[in-house]
Amino acid sequence: MSYRIDGLQYANWSEKIFRQLRAGNVDAVHVTIAYHESFRETVLNFEKWNRWFEQYPDLIMKGQWASDIDTARETGRTAIFFGFQNPSPIEDDIGLVEILHTLGARFMQLTYNNQSLLATGCYEAEDAGITRMGRQVIKEMNRVGLVVDMSHSADRSTIEAAEISERPIAITHANPHDWAPALRNKRDDVIRAVTENGGMLGFSVYPHHLKDKSDCTLDSFCEMIARTAERYGVDHLGIGTDLCQDQPDSVVEWMRTGRWSKEIDFGEGSASAPGLPPMPHWFEDNRDFGNIENGLRATGLNKDEVAGIMGGNWYRFFAQNFVPQG
């Protein structure tokens, strides 16, 4: 059986969801544990997960290395890998990059929509590219094995990150802009820069990133993946659902605004519907990964190509990029 690895989720975690992960045979998932948190607040989130690992040892385990995915499979569990959607956990201290990797972080976005100390977010009018600190932080991330994630970053910043980074980077959860012209979806030159440098693109099922949004069909989604494979190579593609299951509207507002604004930033949503949109009927929770796998087979992709997209490519990427250099 091939791997099933999800490149990103931000669910309201519970025993119910952990059991759905197992029912869906999900071997590993990259979990967001920081959006706007400080270092100390992020440490508290690590603590919360440590309690869950204690409470549900038959369902989940902490993932730090690709080999942990094999351990999870052998013991009927899901390996949980940690990441940040914002560089706020390192504050303005480059030394915290190594500390956070030691605690278990494996991905860090350089921006979340806005300008950060490191790069420009995709909602800013002007993209100044990677900052002076950003160059230093990328170098340090490369050294310790913390993957550069540019899912919410602007075009120039993403292309520069792919070129500056000595190790492959990732867009863990987004889709091609020419299929669904959402602000956060990625244009051809961006995807090309990431994949030509060995990086990964994880396809998102978050409705605002889909063609026809919640009404997107499985056929449309899987055909888009097949065409993307033809253009950039199947080895650089995976799934990054961006599943935000069971999150209340208050958390969605906090995701988008943090503490930086007094106003609600509806982002890619609409002012009349600030919460999470309904998921497409073919992917409502982790039990539905089989629908994507079957849909990919129906496009004509062969068995090995489908296995790569469903998790094999992420496995290889994890194995190569989580370990420290040298």
Please check the confidence at residue 297 and state whether its pLDDT lies above 80: yes
Where are the chain's structural domains? 5-321
Give 97-101 contacts, CB < 8 A, sequence gap 24+. Answer: 97/137, 97/140, 97/141, 97/144, 97/146, 98/140, 98/143, 98/144, 100/39, 100/42, 100/146, 101/144, 101/145, 101/146, 101/324
pTM for the full predicted model: 0.96
- How far out from the chain centre does Cα 247 lie? 17
Whose structure tokens read 């994880």? 202
pLDDT tens sequence across 233-277? 999 999 999 999 999 888 878 888 888 888 876 555 444 456 789
pLDDT tens sequence across 194-213? 999 999 999 999 999 999 99
Return the pLDDT at 191: 98
CATH code of the domain occupying 5-321: 3.20.20.140
Whether 148 contacts 196, CB under 8 Å: no
pLDDT tens sequence across 50-107? 999 999 999 999 999 999 999 999 999 999 999 999 999 999 999 999 999 999 999 9
* Alpha carbon separation from 198 to 165, 241, 248, 301 (Å, rounded): 11, 21, 37, 21
Of residues 11, 23, 14, 27, the one with CA closest to residue 63 = 27
